Structure 1
């Protein structure tokens, strides 16, 4: 489990683990759901960046960020580490509005 790993949960949906690796000893992780671009209307690009995961275009639903128990993460299917700055920028928009 690492920051910006993408996990598939039991419902078949994807979650991005956004919590710093330094805090891996905690029993919960801050995650953001990924939703199919076809299911989400166009939104603010910085708040909802798009990524390709498992061959599908997915939207980071930043406004739905939250904590879940680590045991609920499911299996890792991908990593978005190369999009670290875009994900952190989306969190900045959510938290500070900039």
Structure 2
């Protein structure tokens, strides 16, 4: 598992793995849910950027950050490493001195 990889969970939900690879030995991963962008999701902002995941627009629900068991992450969909600046800005907005 790698930081900024996107996974489908056993539940069918899609999450972004944000955990540093330095802690890859842990049985848990820190993730952020990625919801399909629609009229019902919040508008894109610094906190909730829209990412392209396998051709689908998904909104990063940064404020729903969670820790899950790594063995619930079933399918690696893709990497969004190219969006790391926007991802890190969203995390900084949530936990930094914004």
TM-score norm. by structure 1 comes to 0.92
Partner of 2:86: 86
* Alpha-carbon shift at residue 15 of structure 1 (Å): 0.4
Paired residues, what number? 97
Within-5 A mapping of 1:16-95: 16-38=16-38, 39-43=40-44, 45-95=45-95
TM-score norm. by structure 2 comes to 0.92
Kindly report structure 1 stretches of 4+ aligned residues shifted beyond 3 Å.
Answer: none
Deviations 1:74-95 (A, max 9, x none): 1100111111111111011111
Give ranges in structure 2 of 5+ residues lacking alignment. Answer: none
Deviations 1:4-35 (A, max 9, x none): 00001123221000000011001100000000
Give ranges in structure 1 of 5+ residues lacking alignment. Answer: none
RMSD: 1.2
